[in-house]
A and B are shown apart, each in its own frame.
Chain A
Amino acid sequence: MAIGSGKNPLDLVFSSLTAIASFSVIFFILGILYVLISESLPAIERFGVIKFLTSTDWDPVKESFGALTNIYGTILTTFLSLLIAIPVAVGIAIFVTEIAPDFLKGPIGIAIELLAAIPSIIYGMWGLFTLSPIMSSHIEPLLKRIFGPIPLVGLLFQGTPMGIDILTASVILSIMIIPFTASISRDSFNLTPSVVKESAYAIGATKWEVIKNIVIPYSKLGVFGGIVLSLGRALGETMAIAFVLGNNHRITTSLFDAAATITVTLANEFAEADKDIYLSALFYLAMVLFIMSFVTLALAKYFLLKAERKYSR
């Protein structure tokens, strides 16, 4: 039905209002993109695209800016946090859908959602005052003792554990994204038709075999979509890790080193960026993140759509 084809004038008003509300979303996205591009133009002109993306220099005094250390930190912390979060989250989802007795499903589900509702600045303060001392005095020395002597792997665990580093930030991020991955995985697992599961049980399959051969293959696209959504969240997370990452613009190999992500750099330096080119470089950095997040979310959408189509048949 076309807009305004109703006879009542109120219908026309109502449908135009909803249309305006919807189009405003597109307007805002384009508006933000426009601001990002126009503000970062001086930096784009000065540093170019390839040079900005591949330079590791970040020196406000000499006005030399490159994004690589930030991109590196963003990808590394996101990857590590997914590495920690995915097994835990999928485990939670399997437990809640297939294993837990009914009286446990509710409380665990609520607990997961509560975890998702904690504002990220609280994770940040908790990370700085509670988690990071624990990491530096207990967990990281232990990891160093176990993995340090192993060749190659040991490189990841060099240096003095300070608790303000890539590892601590990744642990906080993983706790933040577990709820997303877990609840989307749970919903995907629930999509598995019970007829199929029951048939499997009927021919004598164990619970483990049903989960491994029926539930997971059936819902893996949905789970994957959930993972990519969490990835988007981890990419853009700021306050939770702004305190514990150290904002160090260097490419380092050890997990015990401080690093910088795009968001952490923005949070730390935006307020006091006093030169025009400095501010412009920060906007440029923001645009890089915008594109990165946009691509990951588009991918997530694509996989989820594909999954839906497959199972709605």
Chain B
Amino acid sequence: MKTILMVVLAMALMVFFTHAEAAETLNGAGATFPYPVYSAWAFDYNKITGVQLNYQSIGSGGGVRQITERTVHFGASDDPLRPEQLQKDRLLQFPAVIGGVVPVANLENVKPGELKLDPESLCKIFLGEIKFWDDPKITKINPGLKLSHSEITVVYRSDGAGTTAIFTHYLSETCPDWKSRVGEGKAVKFPVGIGGKGNEGVANYVKRTANAIGYVEFAYAKQNKLDYLQLKNRAGNFVEPGFESFEDAAETGDFDAKKDFYLWLTNAPGKGSWPIAGATFILLAKEKTDSNKNVVKFFDWAFKIGDNKAKELVYVPLPKSLKDKVRAYWKTNGLQ
């Protein structure tokens, strides 16, 4: 009995001291999409500064809820909150990293990047109005490709996801039919197609099904070498998804610190912009200046030397101009 007591006491002391030592712990929760890059940054940051950063990837909805209830030091969301809502819940918001959505297809005799689509044809495919790959709307913009008369299988995300939110936001923005019939959101009622769970579900499905088309996170498409396609952007050019086209979108996107960076990065105006990009955001509680300063210190460090790490993990770092805007925003709010 005594030995047990001693062991318990020793363990309690150990727990106590480890806590005392790691006085600085930052807790964050939210979006699943940036989880790999945040945790990679946190690992390096911990080695240098000793600050422990825990990030729970529970989903954007959960992240917003937790920071609103002030149970974490920062929240993370894949889609921006409107300035009115930030005002109401007394939150601050800034972008941390750029990501995007890439349509992928599985077509015989078509190599990655060969197939081109414009917003109208993409929208009509997902609405179920274009049913076959040799539809005049598709062949018109792909004169060099031999597309067979095969039925298109649409694959979408069956689970609620920021990926779907960005994708449907883009379709709603570029296609009035989509806006009125389906709308945008993390989960929408897709008129046709089959659902896969997660990026891996959609990717697995597109790979296995001949003549399928789906949409996945850029990093996922790149790492799994899926057959991406070219999209016509707002400037009228066909662009391939890649670091350059995402950076171009982020640079030309009109992020405004006065609106707490509220911006959907879809349909960016740049000549080489990938049209379906999006930033992922960090949310802070306005009144908690002390912990906010620590969170900001971390992201400032990550902005300075985390770019390569982010690129390794196929995330697009913020362009310099945007980083400067974010830093100015921190200063205005007294966090740096």
Binding site for B on A (CB under 8 A): 58-62, 128-129, 133, 136, 160, 162-164, 242-243, 246-249, 258, 267-274, 279
Given known pairs A60-B185, A61-B182, A164-B194, the reply for A274 and B201 (CB within 8 Å) is no
In contact, B195 and A271 (Cβ under 8 angstroms) = no
In contact, B185 and A61 (Cβ under 8 angstroms) = yes
In contact, A247 and B61 (Cβ under 8 angstroms) = no
In contact, A247 and B197 (Cβ under 8 angstroms) = yes
Number of residues of chain B lying within 8 A (CB) of chain A: 30
**Nearest Cβ in chain B — how far from A264, in angstroms?**
8
Report whether over half of chain B's contact residues are helix, strand or loop; otherwise say mixed. Answer: loop
Of residues A60, A164, A269, which shows the largest number of chain B Cβ atoms within 10 Å of its Cβ? A164
In contact, A269 and B201 (Cβ under 8 angstroms) = no
In the complex, A164→B206 CA distance in Å? 12
| B2 is an interface residue with CB less than 8 A from chain A | no
Q: How would residues 27 to 67 of chain B score, 1 for a CB under 8 Å from any chain A CB and 0 otherwise?
A: 00000100000000000000000000000001111101000
In the complex, A273→B65 CA distance in Å? 11
**Nearest Cβ in chain B — how far from A85, in angstroms?**
24
In the complex, A274→B184 CA distance in Å? 12
List B153-172 residues whose CB lies under 8 Å from chain A: 153, 158-162
Chain A residues contacting B58 (CB-CB under 8 Å) are 271
| B186 is an interface residue with CB less than 8 A from chain A | yes
Chain A residues contacting B161 (CB-CB under 8 Å) are 272
In the complex, A60→B190 CA distance in Å? 11
In contact, A249 and B189 (Cβ under 8 angstroms) = yes
Binding site for A on B (CB under 8 A): 32, 58-62, 64, 153, 158-162, 182-189, 194-197, 201, 204-205, 208-209
In the complex, A267→B195 CA distance in Å? 14
4 closest A-B pairs (Cβ-Cβ)?
A272-B160, A271-B59, A247-B158, A61-B183
Q: Contact check: which of B60, B159, B183, B185 meets A268 at CB < 8 Å?
A: B159
In contact, A59 and B195 (Cβ under 8 angstroms) = no
In contact, B197 and A242 (Cβ under 8 angstroms) = yes
Given known pairs A60-B188, A128-B201, A164-B194, the reply for A248 and B160 (CB within 8 Å) is no
Of residues A128, A133, A247, A258, which shows the largest number of chain B Cβ atoms within 10 Å of its Cβ? A247
In the complex, A38→B258 CA distance in Å? 39
Chain B residues contacting A243 (CB-CB under 8 Å) are 197, 201
Q: Contact check: which of B32, B162, B184, B187 meets A269 at CB < 8 Å?
A: B187
**Nearest Cβ in chain B — how far from A277, in angstroms?**
13
